[in-house]
Amino acid sequence: MVADVHPIWLAQSKLRRRRYDECIQLCTDALQRNPVDQVAWYLKCRAITLKSWIDDTEIEEEGVADLLMDEHNVAQVARPGTSLARPMTGAAASGQSPVVRPMTGSGRPLTGFVRPGTSAARPGTGSTKPGTALAAALKAARPGTGSSSSSRPLTTSGRFVRLGTASLAAAGHGGPFIAAERLDLRKYAARPHLARVLCDYILYVDHNMQKDHNMQKVLELAGHATAEAGFADWWWKERLGKAYYQLGLLRDAEKQLASAAKNQDMLVLTHQLAKISTRLDQPLAALSLFSEAAGRHPGDIGLLLGQARLQEGLGNRQAALALYHQVLALDASNVEAIACLAADHFYSDQPELALRYYRRLLQMGVVSAETWANLGLCCFYAGQYDFTFSCFERALALAGDAALPDIWYNIGQVAIGIGDLSWAQQCFRLAAALDPGHAEALNNLGVLQLKRRQPQQAASCFRAGMKAADHVFELHYNAALLAHRQGDLQEAVSQVKEALALYPEHTDSLELKKLLKAQLNAL
């Protein structure tokens, strides 16, 4: 058909059109005819790499192994407002109180947009209860628990490995395309145009060897190539940084990236550097990196979003909001900004505004169970009762296993709102049955049991909730209240202390504590 078109031309064209499999096929044929065809080798290498490319500037979830072997011991108890592990502690923290806005598992305020790493707790070095960190990490990692709160990849950058293996199976017919351990990397480093694609290939694709070994290969290649380029090539330094990061040598990575940034001011480098700072739990450093870069690149959305995420994580609500508004001014269809603004409006008691944002999301084509559930809640709180249930119906129809518990939990909230406690209980039960670790549902279920005068069941609900998650202060407060009512002052005191540890300004807990103190003194 395309008789006289050069196969390499066609392969290049296919590569440009992202038809990787056809491109790989063409190159394989060419390589069969001429095994030392550099061009075909180059194109095939690129195609395989692009197939399994992932954007690694986003902060990824840390594997359990990473957490266990983490030896970057930064301050155990960070100063207020300087750590993502201790959010809402800064003087500038203007976040909403946890009574109004629920918390994620890590104790950060719930954000409107789920990214890797936002949902799961980062039981890092600065966690308040050092003993529980490991347990929490392992709890999240246990496969098959049906826990909707993301399960952690077991190994370091487990996602990397999984992606790699999938594409390799498709690409290689019996054996990988390039056996990096057999190559003379020094020779390749001297050939700049082959070296770069080879480096990317090892970095993104070649995961069949052990990962550390793999990264060492990258380091070797990049080290030779940097020397070859006279230590002036930012790209090789960035690759060095990336490899160091993967190996967990964060400080070395930082050094390389900073040096690369001196060579050429690239956005990628800023993102990578900020990622390292975040990983080291130095959000303020990451913030300043972002804001400096934003000064040099005015109007860059990625930098603004990076700042906004960090501010939100630190609990600086106003700052995050302003940044999200800036993002929207630049890119009116940025889903993340819209979702975060909507969530904020919802939690600051403006369901009508949140409703508009969510409707916009829906019109933009973000049709998901979560959107519908949020719409339903907004409708309910905005008084548009006639839409509420059709929204929830759609949400239920769209929802997968991960979203269902939360949707039932929200329906239960609505049921409480309209006073149908029996229905509410059924909803919470469903939520708890679908996700046995749904602490909020268990808490509400416990409160309802309490209303039915079944303190035993209520107590067991609270206990189950506390076992499932340790970030919900309501559970502790309710358990304390129950214990107090039953006369178990000891238990009440310990629970109220737990609640206050999670949320030091909770008025009811403080009052209960005062009351308990008075009673104990009277004794």
Partner 1 sequence: MSLFSSREWWSTRLGTAEEFDQGSIAIANIDNDTNGNAKIITGSLQGVLRVHLPHQRGYHVEDMLLETELERSILQLAAGNFLGSSSICLAVLHPRKLAVYALQAVGSSYLQHSKIYEHHLEHTAANMATGPFGGIAGVEHIVVQSYDGQLTFFEQEAMAFSRFLPSFLLPGPLAYAAASDSFITSTAGLELVAYKYSNLAAASGSKEQQQQQQQQQAGGPPAGAVSGKRIQADWTVVLGEAALDIRTGRITANTRADAPADILVLAEHTFFVLNLRGQLLLQRRLDYHPACCWPFPAGPDSSSSSSATANPNQQQQQRPPENLLVATHTKALMVYRGQELAWAARLEMLPVAVRVAALEGMQGMIVALDDTGKLAVLYLGSEPPKQSVSFAESKQLDYAAMEAERKALLTQIKAAGGAGWDPAAAAPAAAAGKGAAAAAKDLVLRAQVPSRLDDADRIVREGGEGPPGSNADGVAGFGAAGGAAAAGVKQLTVTLLLSNTTKSSMKVVACYRSADKQLQCSQLALQLPMILFCQVIPPVKSAEYKVTVATNRDAAQLVALFGDMLVQAHPAHAEALSRSQAANVMSFHFGGGQEVTILVSKNAGRYRLQADSFAAMWLVLQELSRRLAGHFAAAEAKPAAAQQQQQPPPFSITFDESLPLQDVFELVDRHFALRAALAAANEALEQREVQFRSVQKRLLVRYKDRNAAPLNQLDVLMEETYDQILDLATQMEQLQAELLAAGQALGAGVQLLLLLTRFRFKLAAEEFELLRCALSPVVLEGPEVSWEETTEAAMTHLLRSALARSAKDAAAAVPPLAPAADTARLKKHISLVLERLSKGMRLVAGSSSNNGGSAAAVAAH
**265 to 284, contacts with partner 1 by CB under 8 A?**
265-268, 271
Q: Which is nearer to partner 1, 37 or 491 (CB)?
A: 37
Of 146, 299, 383, 504, the residue at the interface with partner 1 (CB under 8 A) is: 299
Of 322, 362, 396, 489, the residue at the interface with partner 1 (CB under 8 A) is: 362
Of 180, 197, 247, 250, the residue at the interface with partner 1 (CB under 8 A) is: 197
Asked if residue 335 binds partner 1 (CB under 8 A), the reply is yes
Asked if residue 387 binds partner 1 (CB under 8 A), the reply is yes
The footprint of partner 1 on residues 60-99 (CB under 8 A) is none
Of 448, 472, 481, 499, the residue at the interface with partner 1 (CB under 8 A) is: 448
Of 73, 91, 230, 363, the residue at the interface with partner 1 (CB under 8 A) is: 363
The footprint of partner 1 on residues 8-37 (CB under 8 A) is 8-10, 12-13, 16-18
Asked if residue 357 binds partner 1 (CB under 8 A), the reply is no
Q: Which is nearer to partner 1, 164 or 302 (CB)?
A: 302
Of the candidate spans 77-85, 209-217, 283-291, 444-452, the one that interacts with partner 1 by CB under 8 A turns out to be 444-452
CB of 238 to partner 1, least distance (A): 7
Q: Which is nearer to partner 1, 294 or 500 (CB)?
A: 294
Give the residue among 400, 470, 434, 405 at the shortest CA–CA distance from 139: 470
8 A C-beta contact, residue 240 and residue 223:
yes
Q: Which is nearer to partner 1, 17 or 213 (CB)?
A: 17
Residues contacting residue 142 through CB under 8 Å, at least 6 positions apart: 151
Q: Which is nearer to partner 1, 156 or 449 (CB)?
A: 449
CB of 351 to partner 1, least distance (A): 17
| 516, HSE (Cβ side, Cα atoms, 13 Å) | 25
Asked if residue 398 binds partner 1 (CB under 8 A), the reply is no
CB of 338 to partner 1, least distance (A): 9
CB of 388 to partner 1, least distance (A): 10
117: left (phi over 0), alpha (psi -120 to 50) or beta: left
- Give the Å distances, CA to CA, from 56 to 171, 269, 297, 301: 22, 11, 21, 17
Q: Which is nearer to partner 1, 416 or 482 (CB)?
A: 416
Asked if residue 350 binds partner 1 (CB under 8 A), the reply is no
8 A C-beta contact, residue 93 and residue 314:
yes
234: left (phi over 0), alpha (psi -120 to 50) or beta: alpha
8 A C-beta contact, residue 355 and residue 375:
yes
Asked if residue 55 binds partner 1 (CB under 8 A), the reply is yes
8 A C-beta contact, residue 116 and residue 55:
no
Residue 342 has phi, psi (to 5 degrees) of -60, -45
Of the candidate spans 364-372, 474-482, 488-496, 503-511, the one that interacts with partner 1 by CB under 8 A turns out to be 364-372
Asked if residue 325 binds partner 1 (CB under 8 A), the reply is no
Rounded Cα distance, 434 and 456, in Å: 22
Asked if residue 332 binds partner 1 (CB under 8 A), the reply is yes
CB of 233 to partner 1, least distance (A): 6
Q: Which is nearer to partner 1, 182 or 453 (CB)?
A: 453
8 A C-beta contact, residue 130 and residue 324:
no
CB of 365 to partner 1, least distance (A): 6
Q: Which is nearer to partner 1, 55 or 71 (CB)?
A: 55
CB of 247 to partner 1, least distance (A): 21
DSSP state string for 357-398? HHHHHHHTT---HHHHHHHHHHHHHTT-HHHHHHHHHHHHHH
Of the candidate spans 86-94, 115-123, 186-194, 312-320, the one that interacts with partner 1 by CB under 8 A turns out to be 186-194
User: Which long-range contacts does 306-312 make (Cβ < 8 Å, 24+ apart)?
Assistant: 306/271, 306/274, 308/337, 308/340, 309/111, 309/115, 310/84, 310/278, 310/283, 310/286, 311/287, 312/108, 312/109, 312/111, 312/340
Of 20, 42, 188, 324, the residue at the interface with partner 1 (CB under 8 A) is: 42
Of 220, 228, 331, 508, the residue at the interface with partner 1 (CB under 8 A) is: 331
Rounded Cα distance, 421 and 425, in Å: 6
Give the residue among 418, 419, 443, 469 at the shortest CA–CA distance from 428: 443
The footprint of partner 1 on residues 223-262 (CB under 8 A) is 233-235, 238
Residue 388, token pair as written in the block: 């509420």
DSSP 111: P
Give the residue among 169, 231, 237 at the shortest CA–CA distance from 205: 169
- Residue 335: is it exposed, middle or buried by C-beta count within 10 angstroms (0-12/13-18/19+)? middle
CB of 167 to partner 1, least distance (A): 16
Total number of residues shown for the chain: 523
Q: Which is nearer to partner 1, 390 or 507 (CB)?
A: 390
Give the residue among 151, 132, 126 at the shortest CA–CA distance from 283: 126
Kindly state the number of chain residues that form the binding site for partner 1, as judged by CB under 8 A: 71
Of the candidate spans 46-54, 119-127, 169-177, 490-498, the one that interacts with partner 1 by CB under 8 A turns out to be 46-54
Of 69, 77, 330, 520, the residue at the interface with partner 1 (CB under 8 A) is: 330
